[in-house]
Amino acid sequence: MIRRIAALALATALIPAPAGAKVAVTQACSEAVPAVRTVPLTANRTGEVWGRIELRRDTCHQYWAYLKLNSPIITGGTRATAVLAYWEEGLQQPGLTCNSPGGNGYITRNQTSCRTPKLPWTFVDGFMATGHYDVQLEGGSAWYAVAKGQTKKAPGRI
């Protein structure tokens, strides 16, 4: 439990507070490395590829999820997001989405990509990136995923 609290304190220190703010990148950390894992975002009914989900890591071993759509969202009532799932002490933790503080927000009209906040590998057993493209159901209170994708879990200390 102490490891978990320390990891969360470290993660909180690295994630900027304001929603929609650009993710702070340490000068010494480069993002110019290949994705750890990449999978297609596919439509549930047709299997058509709508984009790709990536599990990314910088040279300081901070991880994030990235979603890139093949074309911009053109209608209201739709959105897409990436989710960074992670495990501590073998237990899956609540995921971070593009809309979490430090991410750049959901993909909405005229946009094609988003990223979650970064999370350091410290005390994390593994990471996985998922993504979904959602349509708002009638009444506006619920969303339905019409396209999804999920990478395989990657160890946190690679």
For the chain, give every domain's residue range: 37-147
> Would the CA dihedral through 62, 58, 24, 55 be positive or negative?
negative
Please state whether 93 falls in left (phi above 0), alpha (psi between -120 and 50) or beta.
Answer: beta
pLDDT at 50: 97
* CATH fold label, 37-147: Immunoglobulin-like (2.60.40)
Condensed to tens digits (0 to 9), the pLDDT of residues 74-122 reads: 998 999 999 999 998 888 988 999 999 999 999 999 999 999 999 998 8
> Region 2-9: what's the mean pLDDT?
38
Condensed to tens digits (0 to 9), the pLDDT of residues 138-156 reads: 877 899 999 999 999 998 7
Mean pLDDT of the chain: 84
Cα separation, 75 vs 14, whole angstroms:
34
pLDDT at 26: 45
Which pair of tokens denotes residue 26? 């340490």
Q: Give the confidence band of 49 by pLDDT, cuts at 50, 70, 90.
A: very high
Cβ atoms of residues 60 and 119 within 8 Å: no
pTM above the 0.85 mark?
Answer: no
pLDDT at 149: 96
Condensed to tens digits (0 to 9), the pLDDT of residues 6-42 reads: 343 334 334 433 343 344 444 589 999 999 999 999 9
